[in-house]
Structure 1
């Protein structure tokens, strides 16, 4: 079976280990002075973090759950980790309808947790305000997205919901 792999650069290894141990409900399988790794079965992922002196972060990462109860449980774990959790119910994004929760880990990496329950005909709820190439949009982004967006305007994979 394949395993999704993610590697993040972090600024504070101890704070990040605490956060991710709460999020994943388990301690890392490997811990070194500059590295930690979780080999998770649910979700099936090899998730590694390190302090290598590189700029911390990635745009955002995500966990998709199968139902609303799992999303609630995951939200409780995020809350226990001490981060602000921003709910986004009935969101239209990526041609899907989902209930979501957004948060940030200790170094500011955005996390999207979500349960998809339907399809949508647009990429983002405000796509009707976008030009064909997505360059000019007037649709507001969700506050959790806007705070971390690297570019203004349309909700795109690099600056918005997905």
Structure 2
């Protein structure tokens, strides 16, 4: 089963947690000093906010429950002639995940991923204050790590 993912950058985390908790009718499933996430069933969405992301919509995605669902999504993206960046297993946004990235024709970063487990780190690599995770648009930005064959984590 799939769950829509939206990550929004906010300026004041506490004010935003209060607003979105009222909007969704529930408290976040996960909170950190710079991050909060709601895992909602109605609507079925993984909605995250952080003070590290650019303000507004940072990226969108589809979260899957099973590895075979992720492979189906990856094939769809490749068949759509999209340039797919397979990140593989990585730690980003307080979770270890298997993920891939594409950028849609409008320039919006999308991730297709399976969350494998919660972790206590934002990332297993150094990520700049300019982004929550190194999406395709931020790779190579000064202060953000640049992808390489030996790199690991969200900037790997």
Q: What is the TM-score of this pair, normalised by structure 1?
A: 0.47
**Structure with larger RCO (C-alpha < 8 A, sep 6+):** 2
More strand by share: 2
